[in-house]
A = this chain, B = another copy of it.
Amino acid sequence: MYRHETRLRVRYADTDQMGYVYYGNYSAYYEAARVESMRALGLSYKSMEEDGVIMPVMENWSKYHAPATYDEMLSVHAIIKTMPGVRIKFFYEIYNESDNLIHEGETTLVFVKKETGRPCKMPDQMREALAPFFPDEKTPG
């Protein structure tokens, strides 16, 4: 398992007139947490895209336990539970400043060759960076 924490400040732009973070804005929090979790492993989504692999989202799930509110410093955990293949699944846990779990989410993304639009295998560099966190899983060989 791989877990990484990103801290994010809620902006006024993120709120709605209910005084909560608008339910659609958690997706950008997830994205920030995913990208930072990769960066912590020396991986850059930007470079991967420049190398011709994009990662469109296939499926997303969100559970709103309690609202996030303006100016809170959120702690967003991005978690990978199984070694990715042509798909990668991220789980999220969001904690507020009182360390309460206010939100959970899951996103499944797929590796796609930009040129062909076809699914492809996870880039080698990412496989190598993730492998130490999944010692019991055999890599295809």
Question: A residues engaging B (CB < 8 A)?
Answer: 9, 11-13, 15-20, 22-28, 31-32, 35, 44-46, 54, 56-64, 67, 70-71, 107
Contact = CB atoms under 8 A, between A and B. Distances in A.
* Copies of this protein in the complex: 4
Nearest to A107: B23
A59 B26 CA distance: 12
Given A15-B16, A17-B70, A31-B11, A58 B54 contact: no
B17 A31 contact: no
A16 B16 contact: yes
Given A15-B16, A60-B62, 10 more contacts: A12-B18, A12-B45, A13-B22, A13-B27, A15-B17, A17-B17, A17-B70, A23-B107, A24-B25, A24-B31
Contact of A28 (B24, B31, B46): B24
